[in-house]
Structure 1
């Protein structure tokens, strides 16, 4: 066993570099999965950080293309800059922009991409800008977004500075709108948006599949009586890496691989999570266990099982004996022998001192004994007498117990006495319905315990229990 352990450790160190490489690849794959999941909800933020790669990814993987309405609108806006603001913009272009602005507000092309909120931001920004530029009184300010766009795209209002405002504040919002293609099916369309993430993911899946088969082959050969199926189940947590769907489950193998390869030490986090969960569950679990035990005792009282167990002398006949040995009798014999032959000889001086003290205390209460203690030599004689009494009493008691234990007749008499006490107890307790009264009182008492225990448990501060657990854990860590 020691040789196998020492051999496994160098093997683990030898292949640690491979484990770390595969863990890093799994982590990269999971990061790409998270990016793919978050692309649509966070596309606007990705456009601000890296507009070029974000657009390329959307076109290639998500089937995203510019919305025709907003794209035509932005191309018309570009004509404004091309015509030259200093020389005046073509009135046809401005008229087209006003018409397109009204159409966009009425038709809302942002709704297809679930970006109606973006259109509302565009409208609010344009209204605020017009009111700021015109500096109108509050009762005369522009409230209609259509009117604001009409004013903005007018020959009298449009200037280079105002066009720069549109290019800087409004145009990026229009660019976030898009149209996403739908996956084709055998008959028409499937209604599912295009997602070609498999193009990126297939390489990782094939790599992890080859690694999975290689690990299964190695495990099946290294361990006796282990077939391929057992080896695959050994690495069950790698299965999400092989699935082209439910990619979020890959968090499980990624975390396990990172921890196993020691790429990142996750043991402190795992320990804290485990202790936190156990501390939260411990109170509820303890409550369930204790209440369950009390319920079982109450059921025994209600059904009469406890009464039959105590009063029925034939209950022992239904007891299932596994080895034909009376374990309780054997245990009592072993304990008695240990006490008589091992324990008592070692504590004999203490027992004799206790007996001497008891004898002297009893004699000192006698008036005659107290008077004769004043006679010279009597005090020493009484001390020797008490010592002799203690020694003889100890020897007599110990030898008497040994004789009773070793004597078959004495043991039989002892068993007979115990049986007589038991039978007499069962007869007397059934008189005057005492057993029914005891069962009723026990039932009420157990119910009170349940109520009071649950009330104290509800008042218990779980956070304080967690804090105590943390302190205990810190102390144990320091001790090691």
Structure 2
């Protein structure tokens, strides 16, 4: 057969345009989902986005990897300056005022002695704000009480060398003239800017909206995506309803149910479902292998139980039919029931004729040499076993006589068999009548004998016992069969078929 390549048409180009559109929408959905993930993780990761600092420890399994005490600072973009408004995040007035007062101290120290009244007033205000910060805990609003504890521990360790002392006393002493006097001022301020300031800068204030939840403006960012996906959903489902017979617009919307997840403003993390489906439809990822493995795992999980239940149920139905006397009913009805002939043809006789014709015209000529050789060997062996031949075997010419006789008899038997079978294939009304009478009498006689109570009881017992043995022997083998091995064989057959 010669394959002819059809010329390119507009219809052939449509799938390419559709694929391009699918890929654009799939990438747009992926971008939207990445934005959703960023929004969901922004608050927990805000410290990193704010300062680019990695500090603390990481636990992998049973191994705890401690990062150096000095934080690792990475170059960062001003992401918090761009995104804080989305979460309604504002600077905390208390911690902001505290850090501004420290900046004021650093500016006032330039060109002035520490013992000046202006600097003493600044230090007194810092001591007051420190005590107030510990008492009021401005970090609680941002759920950062742990950060305040870190600040207190760092200050205790710096002033007293232990974390068991009073944090208020530590701040009081740290912001005292005695502690900052002389060359120690530069070291203390450097410690504050390196350890305390970054912790306090992470604090923020997030107002509560009218719904009782913290302010979240993510809907404003998500609205353009919502508008695009909503228009696409309406257009796509309308197109499906117009081009699919018997599919209404509502049916088409149900068909594309997963796209609705791109439109709802809650549980946005569920958008991973339409994103993955769209990426697969756009041929950007391949989910067929995952789908095949998942379906095979499901089959492996239920195949054993389903197979056993189905087989046992079929066998139980057969046993129930035997106990209810269906075998006897079948035998009795088969003799009383008038046979309905639909085409005035005796199918049994015709089948026998067909088999005879095939045997005579095709099979026997093909196997003639082999059949004659077998007959000749059998006849020769029968002659050799005859005591008379064994006594006359010593006479000259007896062996060749045996061979010629065996060959002639074999050919004669084959020819007689062939002619007899050939005669049966000829149209013969007498033969047809005799064959029909034979089959009818055979069926009637067999059915009558089997309806005898003793024979019927024996038959039902044997059938029931046979089914029980099948249950014990073969159904258990089905349950013990390695389903994974069967799946491996199935996969191998598929690969052979593909190649």
Tell me if TM exceeds 0.5: yes
The equivalent of 1:280 in structure 2 is 297
Of the candidates 58, 61, 67, which is equivalent to residue 84 of structure 2? 58
The equivalent of 2:215 in structure 1 is 194
The equivalent of 1:390 in structure 2 is 414
* Distance of aligned partners of 1:153 and 1:324 in 2 relative to their CA distance in 1, 3 Å threshold: farther
* Distance of aligned partners of 1:271 and 1:473 in 2 relative to their CA distance in 1, 3 Å threshold: farther
In the alignment, is residue 359 of structure 1 matched against residue 375 of structure 2?
A: yes
- C-alpha contact 2:241 2:247 (8 A) present in aligned 1: yes
Deviation at 1:104, TM superposition (A): 4.2
In the alignment, is residue 12 of structure 1 matched against residue 15 of structure 2?
A: yes
Structure-2 separation of matches of 1:67 and 1:325:
97
Deviation at 1:205, TM superposition (A): 1.7
- C-alpha contact 2:356 2:424 (8 A) present in aligned 1: no
In the alignment, is residue 36 of structure 1 matched against residue 52 of structure 2?
A: no
Structure-1 separation of matches of 2:25 and 2:362:
66
- Taking the TM superposition and a 5 Å limit, the aligned residue runs for 1:307-386 are 308-313=325-330, 339-342=355-358, 345-349=361-365, 351-363=367-379, 364-366=381-383, 367-368=385-386, 374-386=398-410
Structure-1 separation of matches of 2:130 and 2:428:
112
Tell me which protein shows more helix as a share of its residues: 1
Deviation at 1:449, TM superposition (A): 5.2
- C-alpha contact 1:124 1:145 (8 A) present in aligned 2: no
Of the candidates 103, 112, 119, which is equivalent to residue 78 of structure 1? 103
- C-alpha contact 1:352 1:391 (8 A) present in aligned 2: no
- C-alpha contact 2:101 2:122 (8 A) present in aligned 1: yes
Structure-2 separation of matches of 1:438 and 1:105:
90
Deviation at 1:352, TM superposition (A): 3.6
Structure-2 separation of matches of 1:228 and 1:388:
83
Gap regions ≥5 residues in structure 1: 135-140, 185-189, 318-322
Gap regions ≥5 residues in structure 2: 53-75, 335-339
Indicate the RMSD between aligned Cα atoms, in angstroms: 4.4
Of the candidates 192, 200, 207, which is equivalent to residue 174 of structure 1? 200
Q: Deviations over 1:96-151 (max 9, x none)?
A: 444544554555444443334434444444455557xx5xxxxxx44236155455
* Distance of aligned partners of 1:383 and 1:203 in 2 relative to their CA distance in 1, 3 Å threshold: same
Report which stretch shifted further, 24-33 or 252-261.
252-261
Of the candidates 251, 259, 273, which is equivalent to residue 238 of structure 1? 259
Structure-1 separation of matches of 2:350 and 2:176:
109
Deviation at 1:226, TM superposition (A): 5.4
The equivalent of 2:114 in structure 1 is 88
SS at match of 2:78: helix
Structure-2 separation of matches of 1:431 and 1:124:
94
Aligned residues: 446
Q: Deviations over 1:71-97 (max 9, x none)?
A: 343333333333338843834444544
Q: Which has the larger radius of gyration?
A: 2
- C-alpha contact 1:23 1:254 (8 A) present in aligned 2: yes
Per the normalisation by structure 2, the TM-score is 0.71
Structure-2 separation of matches of 1:234 and 1:5:
32
Structure-2 separation of matches of 1:46 and 1:297:
66
SS at match of 2:400: coil
SS at match of 1:163: helix
